[in-house]
Structure 1
Amino acid sequence: MDSLDMEVLRRARDWIAAGHRVHLLTVAQTWGSAPRQAGALAALRGDGQLVGSVSGGCVEDDLSERARQQTLPDRPERITYGITSDDAARFGLPCGGSLRLVVEPLRDTVWLDPVLAAIGRHELTMRTVDMQTGACTLAPASPIDGPDFDGRTLRAVYGPRWRLLIIGANQTARALCDIAISLDFHVLVCDPREDFQATWDGRGATLLTSMPDDAVAEINTDERTAIVALTHDPKLDDMVLLEALKSPAFYVGALGSGPSQARRRERLRLFDLSDEEIDRLHGPVGLRIASRTPAEIAVAIAAELVWVRNTLGGAAACAPHPPSAARQP
């Protein structure tokens, strides 16, 4: 779930509290080149006002018109767009794209409040909806759980499913933190240096004060964790890389120019790391966009994180990665 989807739930709660008629729209299934993935959300008010996105196009316009005409269902119902080529053209779907929505009326905030509270604690929650009765139940979820729809039951998962551990509480980390949170990462920033801890302003991240190598174990690094070293201090950056490159993390990167990365790889070979493990290192970190400023470097790193995360189904996470960012110190 991304930050936009969390805003959808907040806005839906506020609209209900203000007495508005509200429908929640969930992308239940997609085929072909659908513009949003299963699990994407939008909230629709009775006057047609909408927050969120289920297609990014004319599907929302059609649903808003239905809301104004008061023709949306009074119990959970599925609506399919784009099955025919004429529908795809009418609703602005990509060629061959189709999506099935679950449209459900929201009458209270009984489940919204605990879900939002759980998201605030960085916890995953699964909501199960009975399409015939509209009854729903909540249960803890794991990162491997995902949206599912069998025609009778909708299962939606809310909360951050990905984590990013940043080593170094500096300016680049602040910029990367802001971007990563909007990309559905739970961000943790680790820096054992007291002067850096004192100036860190949080920005929605969890601050860890342990040594970087200890942090990799403390957070139970898994296949949905990315680790990026940004301190410019080889003692700290190399320390975390020795653990991160042996971990299941789907992405491990370190700031530094090409020559400094070559020297780093030679240092890493002095320890118990295989060539295959060292080759997992993304360094220089980030995509090649001629980045220079901390904000530009953060954009390059975030872009590479998205590229690797979105191609985990193939060989991209282990294969040679795309060109790295330039001009890193």
Structure 2
Amino acid sequence: MECLDLDVLQTALTWREAGFDVSLATVVQTWGSAPRPPGSLLAIRSDGQVLGSVSGGCIEDDLIARVRNQGMPEKPEWVQYGVTRAQAQHFGLPCGGILELVLEPVTDSSWIAEVLQRTSMHELVQRTLVLASGAIMLSPGQPQSSQSLFFDGEKLTMVFGPQLRLLMIGAGQLSQIVAQMAQPLGFDVLMCDPREEYTGTWQPAWGRHIAGMPDDVVLQIKPDAHTAIVALTHDPKLDDMALLEALKSAAFYVGALGSRANNKKRRERLALFDLSDEQIEHLHGPIGLHIGSRTPAEIAISILAEIISVKNGVIPSQKKLID
């Protein structure tokens, strides 16, 4: 579940609370070169306003026209686009692309409020929609499940959350830029820095400041497979404290700022503690992808690009010195 899709749910809830009729469109299956993956969401308001995406735009236009001409659906329904070459061309789908959607009216928005509340607490929530009746059931999601969406023509089951988290050690200029770039990528941004000289200029809009020493904060947030941790102070007294706990956690990404020489020394220091060679190998350092970055903004892009590549299971072909 992407952050943008959670935004779609939040907007749908806001529209319903304001008195508008709202429908949700969910991509449930694709074939060929479909523009958006299964699970993508679109909220449609009764006056034709939309938020989200299920295609490159043409299918959204058709769904808006359906609402304006036919009104909101009274019950959930299954819709398919792109079955023929002519239809694919008409709706802007790539040649051979086929897209299946489930359209549903949001008659009771209480399930949306509960999903948003539970995912904000870093929980997994499984939602099942019965198309024939429109009944909705919520249950705890299973972390070990690799399938976040299942549709058999009668029931649509989808797992929401948990939101990705990014814990940054350090509140300096680089951290500020990383934080602002990470939020649109779907990360809940957390920051730890015991140095008051740096935290005094931190703005709450960039992310939540968690007070404490870095190692204690890492333990406090209980990193899981949806958590990335980056040490950006360039001060081994602080960065190493966080890394000693982060590398023993389930965080999918752990990285540290510094040159190749500094990272070699860091690994030698970490080896003196209760970390295995395998755990130390989990450290990304020098941090970031090779994009020729020089400025803080370019370095921030490099760092986030590597985090996203690891999240998506893409192994970077090159590493870069960042100091």
Q: Give the TM-score band, short-chain normalised.
A: 0.7 to 0.9
CA distance in structure 1 between the aligned counterparts of 2:9 and 2:291, rounded to whole angstroms: 35
CA distance in structure 2 between the aligned counterparts of 1:276 and 1:241, rounded to whole angstroms: 14
TM-score (norm 2): 0.87
Could you give the per-residue CA deviations for residues 99-122 of structure 1, whole angstroms, max 9, x where no partner exists? 221100123433333333334444
CA distance in structure 2 between the aligned counterparts of 1:211 and 1:322, rounded to whole angstroms: 35
Q: Percent identity?
A: 54
1:125 aligns with 2:125: yes
Q: Which residue does the alignment assign to 1:38?
A: 38
Tell me which moved more, 67-76 or 228-237: 67-76
Q: Measured at CA, do residues 210 and 31 of structure 1 come closer, stay the same or move farther in structure 2, by a change above 3 Å?
A: farther
Task: Output the amino acid matched with 1:207.
Answer: H
CA distance in structure 1 between the aligned counterparts of 2:278 and 2:136, rounded to whole angstroms: 47
1:177 aligns with 2:179: yes
Could you give the per-residue CA deviations for residues 253-282 of structure 1, whole angstroms, max 9, x where no partner exists? 111123322332333344444444333222
Maintained 8 Å contact 1:168/1:189: yes
Q: Which residue does the alignment assign to 2:74?
A: 74
CA distance in structure 1 between the aligned counterparts of 2:158 and 2:182, rounded to whole angstroms: 22
Maintained 8 Å contact 1:143/1:161: no
CA distance in structure 1 between the aligned counterparts of 2:38 and 2:7, rounded to whole angstroms: 17
1:138 aligns with 2:142: no
CA distance in structure 2 between the aligned counterparts of 1:273 and 1:10, rounded to whole angstroms: 42
Give the alignment's Cα RMSD to 1 decimal.
2.6
Q: Which residue does the alignment assign to 1:155?
A: 157
1:63 CA displacement: 1.3
- Unmatched 5+ stretches in structure 1: none
Q: How does 1:300-315 map to 2 (within 5 A)?
A: 300-311=302-313
Could you give the per-residue CA deviations for residues 200-233 of structure 1, whole angstroms, max 9, x where no partner exists? 2223633322322233333222222221111110
CA distance in structure 2 between the aligned counterparts of 1:128 and 1:48, rounded to whole angstroms: 26
Q: Which residue does the alignment assign to 2:99?
A: 99
CA distance in structure 1 between the aligned counterparts of 2:165 and 2:297, rounded to whole angstroms: 20
Could you give the per-residue CA deviations for residues 140-193 of structure 1, whole angstroms, max 9, x where no partner exists? 435455222222222233344322221112222222222222222233222233
Q: Which residue does the alignment assign to 1:21?
A: 21
1:282 aligns with 2:284: yes
Q: Which residue does the alignment assign to 1:229?
A: 231
CA distance in structure 1 between the aligned counterparts of 2:295 and 2:94, rounded to whole angstroms: 36
CA distance in structure 2 between the aligned counterparts of 1:297 and 1:246, rounded to whole angstroms: 26
Tell me which moved more, 66-75 or 113-122: 113-122
Q: Which residue does the alignment assign to 1:11?
A: 11
Task: Output the amino acid matched with 2:258.
Answer: G
1:43 CA displacement: 0.8
The partner residue of 1:187 within 169, 186, 189 is: 189
CA distance in structure 2 between the aligned counterparts of 1:224 and 1:282, rounded to whole angstroms: 17
The partner residue of 1:220 within 214, 219, 222 is: 222
1:23 CA displacement: 1.2
Maintained 8 Å contact 1:177/1:203: no
Maintained 8 Å contact 1:2/1:160: no
Maintained 8 Å contact 1:122/1:186: no
1:209 aligns with 2:211: yes
Task: Output the amino acid matched with 2:66.
Answer: R
The partner residue of 1:250 within 236, 249, 252 is: 252
Maintained 8 Å contact 2:3/2:163: no
Task: Output the amino acid matched with 1:138.
Answer: L
Task: Output the amino acid matched with 1:40.
Answer: S
Maintained 8 Å contact 2:21/2:72: no
TM-score (norm 1): 0.86
Tell me which moved more, 135-144 or 254-263: 135-144
